Structure 1
Amino acid sequence: MDKSWISKPRNSINYSIGLNKFLDFAFKNGAVGDTIRCPYPKCGFMKWQTRDIVEDHLLYKPFPQNYVIWDPHGEKEALESSQMEDVFQDSGVQPQNPMEMMMNDAFEQYRQHASNIGASRPLNENEILNDESRGDYNGFYELLNDGSQTLYEGSKYTKLEFIIKLYYIKVVCGLSDKAMTMILDLLKDAFEEAKFPPSVYEAKKIINKLGLNYKKIDACPKHCMLYLGDDEKSLDACKHCGTSRWKPKKKKKLAAKVLRYFPLKPRLQRLFTCCKTAKDMRWHVLENNKDGLMRHPRDGEAWKTFDLIHPEFSLDPRNVRLGLATDGFNPARTLSSSYSIWPVFLIPYNLPPWICMSHTSFILSMIIPGKQGPGNNIDVYLQPLVEELRELWNGVDTYDSSLNENFRMRAALMWTISDFPGLGMLSGWNTHTGLACPTCNFDAEPCRLKNCKKWCFMGHRRFLSRNHKFRLNRVRFNGNTEERNPPLKLSGSDIFRQVEHINITFGSGAIQNGTIKRSRQEPAQWNKKSIFFELPYWESNFLRHNLDFMHIEKNVCDNLMYTLLHEKDKSRCYWLSVRARALRESTMHGIGCCSF
């Protein structure tokens, strides 16, 4: 494409014609909806604007002179697409539409088989029929039929495409199954010849054929155990507390508590079935950090230490680094203030930062049911995930569509992300005592305020330089000087030695007279040995648990705002009075209170 117009004056005809051609090209190949990345200097390719706004910007300011390869606007993809069309025309194979590409991703094993027979394209129906070792393909043929069958004569949508778009609207807008069924009934009445599914249930059955389903795992209502393996078929009651597995007074056996688990291996394999995503999974190695600033976890000490300890893992950039995040929320919003479910998410850190922190890149691993949070018993529900992570450490065969080859994909959990109570749940460290700081560990001197019965921590001066004036200041603090050095940074091996003898029984079956059964060798500050120590590399991880400070700041801000607005249900007036008493007490003793 001619790009000489870029250097022309903005009031010339050549510049106007060239700008219109650029906009046509960009909105054809690089648009998201009706917007593209704006090259205007102030927008800096980061803001998405409509055609009129982009045109006004580029008439007001010159087109970037050094922007001659229009990758952010689809030039590279358009070139590759044109080359692929030439290949398809030479081979007599027609290029696929987006729905066929989606179906090909869903049945990734067919692509692997195609690569084995030397074809860099999906298998057709005849090739599948000739392979008798592939088993039953009824679901695949039905999906092919739905993907090629038009909704009605002359429609631009296929049946599968329409169902997916309609279901996407249902999820985004939060419509109920009943509302969607009523909408489908109305559409069937208005368009009698259209091939709409009779109900949402039937629509879900069609979408489920795309793969990536979840497993239902029965759980003890008191968080004691999961019914896995032989227990799934043989037990009707919890083997720890004796609680029935089923809901009472039901004609049909329905589990009292069900864990929804989303298998991890097929979801990680799916990341490599798309050429663009597969290439992005190697971004952390392909894109070097030239200025030394930290913009991604790969620039941090924890990532580099992991590479040094496990060099065989870091040899292949396609091996996946994961972070785990969890927190409780109320799915019914304000309708039920006491119900709480706990989703567990995984974040693939191989991707560039503007992609990996997008909600579309988060991998939902499981949904832990309510009514109350799992607390210290969260390890019971993490069992299937940890087992799968152990298998992924050894690797699983995966097809890389960007390089057109099979490889052994491995995955590792780098750390967890949570608020402070969540850190206590995941790590096992008791965050409700005078030794709440997991960094100081046992090397801390807490102070208990008698009147308000709150803990405060006066060790913050230890982190100052040795000659700092605050270390010798008695009046403004607790009346003592501070001569101690900062606490030693404990390694994973040090933590493991503290918890290796802990042996507890999870769930209500572990509670006797309000105390947890412990072994005598167990430190009182630890509630458990975290299940993540079952991973072969967890002990050597430089950083195991992270605090989400934006989350914590948001909670503090909410508490203050609800208090100022006098929200009765969420007000913190009582705690403000407690703070006032604590402040008076700390002032009398010369103590700076910082734990509230």
Structure 2
Amino acid sequence: MPIDKSWICKPRNTIEYANGLNVFLDIAFQHANGPVIKCPCAKCGFKKWQTRDVVQEHLTCTAFPQNYKTWYLHGEGSSVIESMVATSAHVIEDLLESQNPMEDMLNDAFGFAGHDEDTEADDLQTNMVGDEGKTNFDELMRDNNEPLYEGCTKYSKLSFMLKLYHIKCMSRMSDKAMTMILELLKDAFEHAKFPNSFYEAKTVITKLGLNYVKIPACPKDCMLYWGEDNEGLEECKRCKTSKWKNKDKKQYAKILRYFPLKPRLQRLFMSSKTIESMTWHASKDNQDGLMRHPRDSEAWKSFDLLHPEFANDPRNVRLGLAADGFNPYGNMSTNHSIWPVVLIPYNRPPWQCMKQTSFILSMIIPGKQMVGNDIDVYLEPLISELKDL
């Protein structure tokens, strides 16, 4: 008699889901070789061994993978298990593609998915995100597991918030407009878990990391108020211009927005969607000798000969840098200039590295005029970080 698996699509707070989960656990532990099985929750990803109580807790807090219809790793279909063992690493991963992209995003963002407990890799990733990162991960997972309203299965509190934020960015809506929309939604749907304001929503979204740093700059592009020697200065060392636009309100005359490089490179190696492509330049051979990527150029090959120690490790990152200014007000007569500085990871294949989604925004330089040769002043934090790397 086939096992009823309709409970997999039920809400996690229903009796049907709880009873079905117990049936799954009974079958799994009947065929287990010991007191642990591979946990199928999104965080463990079929790669961590857990006891029954832990698996039950994980699958109560997070949804059971909806496309895991035949429980190959937990006792069902034992006749085909042996034939899958040789290729299970890739076949099972494709078979068990997650149905919760939000959990995938959080696991990739913080690097907690896909490792056994108490392993060197787990310790490494804990060191990468730190205690604050683990706290943020737990809080975001809690928001992701909380339905937008009772009985809602399509949106969680976090996924709805991120969808709204995406609409705001794509439509160029102001913070004030978003706050008014959230107030309207909260008034119309009293039982839904909307944030009270856009500021409150941003404090949650900020936990995803990849933030930027505000660095005061001389309005005449002479220097940055950055580093131990310059951070405490009140005026420019060269032109004696004050760094304040309004000192009473603590408003700087000019601000460089700098996006630290290290966490962005770490994210490329932590995400399951990008980690393999970060060694493409070394793992894929050029079959016909044509130049389709910077790695096929003479400059790249000469660099490898001059720096063999660097070239021997394919994980070492090679970056291109591009900068250009534009008037953010289009054809308006307002005299203003914005200079974004963008980094391109040339480790990745040509069909990925030159896509907008692969670009790493390094800094945004504002000002009424283009910076020209004075751009060197603003590149100081990036150069310092590159030297440290």
With normalisation by structure 2, the TM-score equals: 0.70
Residue 79 (structure 1) aligned with residue 91 (structure 2)? yes
- CA distance in structure 2 between the aligned counterparts of 1:118 and 1:183, rounded to whole angstroms: 46
Name the residue aligned to 2:151: 154
Name the residue aligned to 2:166: 168
1:379: how far off?
0.6
- CA distance in structure 1 between the aligned counterparts of 2:180 and 2:251, rounded to whole angstroms: 28
Amino acid in structure 2 at the alignment position of 1:207: I
Of 216, 219, 225 in structure 2, the residue corresponding to residue 218 of structure 1 is 216
- CA distance in structure 1 between the aligned counterparts of 2:184 and 2:131, rounded to whole angstroms: 41
Secondary structure class of the residue paired with 1:341: strand
- CA distance in structure 1 between the aligned counterparts of 2:99 and 2:109, rounded to whole angstroms: 14
- CA distance in structure 1 between the aligned counterparts of 2:179 and 2:388, rounded to whole angstroms: 41
What do the CA deviations read for 1:161-192 (whole angstroms, capped 9, x no partner)?
A: 11112111211222222222222222222222
- CA distance in structure 2 between the aligned counterparts of 1:280 and 1:369, rounded to whole angstroms: 33
Within a 5 Å distance, the mapping from 1:505-520 to structure 2 comes to none
CA contact (8 A) 1:329 1:342 kept: yes
Of 94, 97, 102 in structure 2, the residue corresponding to residue 99 of structure 1 is 102
Name the residue aligned to 2:383: 386
Name the residue aligned to 1:117: 118
- CA distance in structure 2 between the aligned counterparts of 1:183 and 1:232, rounded to whole angstroms: 42
Name the residue aligned to 1:262: 259
Residue 335 (structure 1) aligned with residue 332 (structure 2)? yes
- CA distance in structure 2 between the aligned counterparts of 1:302 and 1:347, rounded to whole angstroms: 17
Secondary structure class of the residue paired with 1:203: helix
- CA distance in structure 2 between the aligned counterparts of 1:335 and 1:324, rounded to whole angstroms: 29
What do the CA deviations read for 1:405-454 (whole angstroms, capped 9, x no partner)?
A: xxxxxxxxxxxxxxxxxxxxxxxxxxxxxxxxxxxxxxxxxxxxxxxxxx
Secondary structure class of the residue paired with 1:161: helix
1:142: how far off?
2.5
Cα gap change, 1:122/1:328 in structure 2, threshold over 3 Å: closer, same or farther? Answer: same
- CA distance in structure 1 between the aligned counterparts of 2:160 and 2:274, rounded to whole angstroms: 25
- CA distance in structure 2 between the aligned counterparts of 1:201 and 1:389, rounded to whole angstroms: 33
Name the residue aligned to 1:193: 191
Name the residue aligned to 1:178: 176
What do the CA deviations read for 1:42-101 (whole angstroms, capped 9, x no partner)?
A: xxxxxxxxxxxxxxxxxxxxxxxxxxxxxxxxxx9982426769xxxxxxxxx7943233
Secondary structure class of the residue paired with 1:271: helix
Name the residue aligned to 1:66: none
Amino acid in structure 2 at the alignment position of 1:201: Y
CA contact (8 A) 2:140 2:204 kept: yes
1:355: how far off?
0.8
Residue 204 (structure 1) aligned with residue 202 (structure 2)? yes
- CA distance in structure 2 between the aligned counterparts of 1:222 and 1:260, rounded to whole angstroms: 16
- CA distance in structure 2 between the aligned counterparts of 1:259 and 1:105, rounded to whole angstroms: 29
CA contact (8 A) 1:284 1:352 kept: yes
CA contact (8 A) 1:146 1:159 kept: yes
- CA distance in structure 2 between the aligned counterparts of 1:271 and 1:199, rounded to whole angstroms: 32
1:257: how far off?
0.6
Name the residue aligned to 1:478: none
1:144: how far off?
2.6
Percent identity of paired positions between Structure 1 and Structure 2: 62
Show structure 2 runs of 5+ residues with no match: 1-87
- CA distance in structure 2 between the aligned counterparts of 1:82 and 1:379, rounded to whole angstroms: 47
The number of aligned residues is 298
1:304: how far off?
1.0
CA contact (8 A) 1:246 1:253 kept: yes
1:345: how far off?
0.1
Show structure 1 runs of 5+ residues with no match: 1-75, 86-94, 393-596
- CA distance in structure 1 between the aligned counterparts of 2:354 and 2:89, rounded to whole angstroms: 24
CA contact (8 A) 1:340 1:373 kept: yes
- CA distance in structure 1 between the aligned counterparts of 2:214 and 2:181, rounded to whole angstroms: 29
- CA distance in structure 2 between the aligned counterparts of 1:122 and 1:195, rounded to whole angstroms: 35
Cα gap change, 1:379/1:116 in structure 2, threshold over 3 Å: closer, same or farther? Answer: farther
- CA distance in structure 2 between the aligned counterparts of 1:387 and 1:82, rounded to whole angstroms: 42
- CA distance in structure 2 between the aligned counterparts of 1:111 and 1:370, rounded to whole angstroms: 43
Of 297, 304, 308 in structure 2, the residue corresponding to residue 307 of structure 1 is 304
- CA distance in structure 2 between the aligned counterparts of 1:208 and 1:166, rounded to whole angstroms: 14
- CA distance in structure 2 between the aligned counterparts of 1:101 and 1:161, rounded to whole angstroms: 12
Secondary structure class of the residue paired with 2:270: coil
Name the residue aligned to 1:235: 233
RMSD: 2.9
Within a 5 Å distance, the mapping from 1:269-280 to structure 2 comes to 269-280=266-277
1:137: how far off?
5.5
